[in-house]
Amino acid sequence: MIKHIVFWQLKDEALGNTKAQNMELVKEKLMACANIVPGMVDFEVGLGGKGLECTYDVALYSTFENKAALDAYQVHPQHEAVKGLIGEVRSARQCMDYEV
């Protein structure tokens, strides 16, 4: 199994939206990627909230059966489209993949 975890900080404003609006948009678009490839086991998107300890605004926590499934997800056209959107609204990104 492969865990794929990504964190994003978003710009205060981008694409004519506030940070809060873009957080919701990113979550919606990412959640639409759930189960787009065989071998995706778990897919969760979380948003930082007021009153919670947050360094980043959006988090993706996902699990894949193997590296081949993760690789298929990475190049899927739907995922590529979301990456383009996120590239426009993010100010920072951190990612870690590891085997369990």
Q: Does residue 89 have a pLDDT over 90?
A: yes
Q: Is the pTM of this model over 0.85?
A: yes
Q: Does residue 51 have a pLDDT over 90?
A: no
Exposure of 35 in the CB half-sphere (CA atoms within 13 A): 0
Q: Does residue 8 have a pLDDT over 90?
A: yes
Share of the chain above pLDDT 70, in %: 100
Mean pLDDT of 50-67: 94
Q: Which structural domain range is residue 48 located in?
A: 2-99
> What is the model's pLDDT at position 50?
79
Share of the chain above pLDDT 90, in %: 94
Q: What is the CATH number of the domain that holds 39?
A: 3.30.70.100
Residue 95 · residue 5 · CB < 8 Å: yes
For the chain, how many structural domains are there in total?
Answer: 1
